[in-house]
């Protein structure tokens, strides 16, 4: 399989990299310190064509392949994980399910408005008692007289509460057959009576991303807001997570690349015992190991993207890429802090933020333990 980048991929990398350095880098530290979501940067990403970039033009996209989208996420995460999270969650979890499972009417109604950066969308899966165990979902939706009545709550929902969050696709129990719950996905728009979007504060990481709790108190939406078919929620959720794992992998890869570059630059500037740090073999070997892991992660992730674009089953490879890229992000960020020494623990140095931001990658969109379970089931043919 050929992992080389074509001219379009190279152009997207350069364009997004230049944008991230020019627009995001000067603002990243302050936004992180304040825990502030940036509508300005979100709109700028929309103007660049990053939202819905893999969608056909008739829905507001630019028709790129998966790898192009993943490169965009990677380049944002190289500078700031919060902005990368906004893009990744919106494209993979927000837009994705509507595009892949929505009716033509739903696609025409929602997708064009979600490709501009003026509005963002969320996917409501996680609950207080249902994370890795998605079948522990308690949020319930009943169909009566042509309307769904939803009761329950969701938590840790990216893009769920800012002023430009237009709504969420919510997984809820809709059918109980012989004591076994079946799930469906339902579109809930902002402003719907009984629907509350509450921002979550006090995060260690991704402090400039929009994270929310969603509450549904006899929230009523039309029957046609059902996404896909009744009882198809688990299928939609699993396929959405497969796609989302690629974007989380891209965040891990981009963060690792950024952390490596920070460590490399520091090692070339900092002197100890009359020598630059990179002149010590122990530091040079750390940098060599970091670069090797990043290259291996990139090849694994790009392979999964190529498989998706070629219509192959990429579920196992997506789990592998998400697992490995997130673990590499942890290892590289840790070594980068070590190379910085005491300065790596100070907020004046970007590596401190990178070290915090990487920690979610082994938890979000399926923990590392869950990824290993998914991989094991594939290789054992279970």
Count of positions (residues) in the chain: 382
Local structure of 168: helix, strand or coil: strand
Give the domain ranges of the chain.
7-114, 121-232, 235-379
pLDDT tens for the chain, 382 residues: list them.
Answer: 566 799 999 999 999 999 999 999 999 999 999 999 999 999 999 999 999 999 999 999 999 999 999 999 999 999 999 999 999 999 999 999 999 999 999 999 999 999 999 999 999 999 998 887 878 899 999 999 999 999 999 999 999 999 999 999 999 999 877 667 899 999 999 999 999 999 999 999 999 999 999 999 999 999 999 999 999 998 998 889 889 999 999 999 999 999 999 999 999 999 999 999 999 999 999 999 999 999 999 999 999 999 999 999 999 999 999 999 999 999 999 999 999 999 999 999 999 999 999 999 999 889 999 999 999 999 998 7
Domain 7-114 annotated CATH 3.50.50.60? no
271-287 CB burial, b ≥16 within 10 A, e <16: eeeeeebbeeeebeebb
The domain 235-379 is placed in CATH, from the list 1.20.140.10, 3.40.50.2300, 3.90.1150.110, 3.30.1360.120, at 1.20.140.10
Kindly list the catalytic residues. Answer: 365
**Superfamily of domain covering 121-232:** Butyryl-CoA Dehydrogenase, subunit A, domain 2 (2.40.110.10)
Cα three-residue angle 12-13-18, rounded to 5 degrees? 100
């Amino acid at each position: 399989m050929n992992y080389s980048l074509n001219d379009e991929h190279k152009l997207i990398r350069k364009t997004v990299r230049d944008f991230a350095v020019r627009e995001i880098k000067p603002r990243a530290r302050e936004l992180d310190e304040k825990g502030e979501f940036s509508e300005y940067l979100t709109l700028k990403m929309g103007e660049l064509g990053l939202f819905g970039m893999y969608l056909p033009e008739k829905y507001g996209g630019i028709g790129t392949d998966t790898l192009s989208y993943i490169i965009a996420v990677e380049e944002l995460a190289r500078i700031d994980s919060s902005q990368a999270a906004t893009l990744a969650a919106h494209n993979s979890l927000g837009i994705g399910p509507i595009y892949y499972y929505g009716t033509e009417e739903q696609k025409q109604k929602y997708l064009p408005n979600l490709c501009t950066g003026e509005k963002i969308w969320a996917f409501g899966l996680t609950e207080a008692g249902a994370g890795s165990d998605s079948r522990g979902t308690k949020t319930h939706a009943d169909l009566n007289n042509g309307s769904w009545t939803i009761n329950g709550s969701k938590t840790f929902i990216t893009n769920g509460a800012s002023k430009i969050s237009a709504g969420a696709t919510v997984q809820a129990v809709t059918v109980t057959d012989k004591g076994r719950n079946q799930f469906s996905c339902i579109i809930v728009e902002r402003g719907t009576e009984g629907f509350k979007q509450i921002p979550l504060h006090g995060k260690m990481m991704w402090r400039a991303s929009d994270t929310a709790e969603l509450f549904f108190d006899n929230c009523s939406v039309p029957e046609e807001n059902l996404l896909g078919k009744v009882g198809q929620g688990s299928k939609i959720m699993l396929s959405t997570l497969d796609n989302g794992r690629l974007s989380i992998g891209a965040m891990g890869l981009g963060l690792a690349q950024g952390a490596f570059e920070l460590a490399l630059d520091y090692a070339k500037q900092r002197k100890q015992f009359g020598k630059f740090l990179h002149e010590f073999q122990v530091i040079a070997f750390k940098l060599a190991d970091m670069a090797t892991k990043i290259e291996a992660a990139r090849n694994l992730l790009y392979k999964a993207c190529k498989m998706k674009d070629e219509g192959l089953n990429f579920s196992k490879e997506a789990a592998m890429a998400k697992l490995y890229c997130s673990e590499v992000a942890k290892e590289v960020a840790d070594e980068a802090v070590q190379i910085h020494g005491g300065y790596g623990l100070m907020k004046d140095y970007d590596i401190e933020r990178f070290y915090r931001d990487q920690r979610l990658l082994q938890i979000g969109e399926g923990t590392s333990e869950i990824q290993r379970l998914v991989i094991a089931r594939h290789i054992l043919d279970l």
